[in-house]
Amino acid sequence: MLDRDPADMLRTVVMIMLALFSIWAMADEFGRVVSPHGLWDFGAFVASGRAAAEGLDPYGIYPLTPHVVLPGFEAWNPNLNPPVSALLFQLFDLAEPERSLRAWLWISVACYAAAVLLLVRRYGEGVEGLLIAIWAFGLAGFWDTLFLGQIYLPLLLMAVGAWLLLERKELVWSGILIGLVVSMKPNFLVWPVLLFLSGHRQPALISGIVAALVSLVPLVIMGPEVYRQWLNLVASDGERAFFLTNASLSGLAARAGIPGAGVALGAVLLLALAAWAFRQRPGLVAASSAALVASVLASPLGWIHYTLFLLPVLLHHWTRWPMWVVGALLVVPVPFVIDQFASSNWVQLTLGSIYGWAVVLCMVVVMLPGRDRVRSASLAR
């Protein structure tokens, strides 16, 4: 990989530095994840599945629902996922919760390893591929997903698979995978919408059909009331936008003291991207890049874990040096960011919001014209 091209040499040096930073972050995060620390979000998922099985509100507060108390912040963390999750989470209650959590952690790590391997095969060669893998395993979103027992990593594997299939013009299977992601994380509905507006109708329509069919399952099994319960919870959950691991515009606006501006800024961003997609007709990868970043940035709650879905975006645009800054900021461990709750409002908006600013920078880079690194001309379109 090392050659005489100054740009390639600089990228190699940056990748080495990022890998070293990631190794430090991994060493710092490993103890936090493996030490006994409770069920956290996994407990909310078990409680939701258990409530659904018993005919209760899967979005209520139960003994296993985590309660977060920090300086200047307090909130319950119930299950916020769509109603189909309440059916799937019943599987988590087949064994004792701590045992189920350990099994889920191994499944999650395996899914992440598979996603990283696919991306390394696509975007990395030799030493550079190894450095990419080390950096990816240092990302804060990965470690905090494991710490909380969250469900993002199997969905990330689907999203990476969809991205790579779109590059190969495998539109049916990519649409199916996107639909499955949207059915569990509706903020990613931006992806098929931008594809549709860009003229890529087949994967967009297939993903919409898949997401709709999956969403009908809880409607048939549990009835329409479950959707009212979910929507009521989502509508009442605005207070968590302030939380420092929320990397969306709503989070930045809340910390700036103008919480109402976050939704407006997100709407403006989505409308601008819709106009751009309809007028410019970007290619599959360009539309997907903008959609994935906007799915995090315009979401009311764009947690640090969602930034893992930006992995293919970052690597596709990796020749642009601002993406190196984004990559470094997303490695900063979550405990450092959470510690800023005890700091001044200004510090919370700067150091405490580094994930949000990283996603903003990523959006700027994605929308700037320029050539990106690809491994073959057929994949550059």
pLDDT for the residue numbered 71: 78
CA pair distance 309, 171, nearest whole angstrom = 19
Residue entry with tokens 């600013």? 357
pTM for this predicted structure: 0.94
Distances (CA, A) of 244 to 114, 249, 305, 311: 29, 12, 12, 21
pLDDT digits (tens, 9 = 90+) for 81-104: 999 999 999 999 999 999 999 999
Q: Indicate if the pLDDT at residue 73 is higher than 90.
A: no
The residues, any chain, with a CB within 8 Å of residue 71's CB and separated by 6 or more, are 341, 342
The DSSP line for 328-350 is HHTTS-HHHHHGGGGS-HHHHHT
Q: What b/e sequence results for 270-302 when a residue is b if at least 16 CB atoms lie within 10 Å of its CB, and e otherwise?
A: beebbebbeeeebbbbbbbbbbbbbbbbbbbbb
The residues, any chain, with a CB within 8 Å of residue 83's CB and separated by 6 or more, are 58, 215, 218, 219, 222, 226, 227, 230
Query: What are 225's two structure tokens?
Result: 């009331």
3-state SS, residue 69 = strand
Q: Indicate if the pLDDT at residue 307 is higher than 70.
A: yes
Res. 201 pLDDT band, cuts 50 70 90: very high
pLDDT digits (tens, 9 = 90+) for 155-169: 999 999 999 999 999
**Among 124-128, 197-201, 202-206, where is mean pLDDT lowest?**
124-128
Whose CA is closest to 272, among 247, 291, 296? 291
Residue type, 370: G
Structure letter (DSSP) for residue 63: T
pLDDT for the residue numbered 121: 96
CA pair distance 107, 98, nearest whole angstrom = 14
Res. 376 pLDDT band, cuts 50 70 90: very low
pLDDT for the residue numbered 296: 98
pLDDT for the residue numbered 238: 73
pLDDT digits (tens, 9 = 90+) for 204-263: 999 999 999 999 999 999 999 999 999 999 988 777 889 999 999 999 999 999 988 999
Q: Indicate if the pLDDT at residue 380 is higher than 60.
A: no
End-to-end, the C-alpha distance of the chain in Å comes to 24
- The average pLDDT across 8-15 equals 86
H helices within the chain, ranges in order?
6-34, 41-53, 84-88, 97-123, 126-136, 140-148, 152-167, 171-184, 190-197, 201-222, 225-235, 249-255, 259-280, 284-297, 311-316, 322-329, 334-338, 345-349, 354-367
- The average pLDDT across 183-203 equals 98
- The average pLDDT across 281-309 equals 97
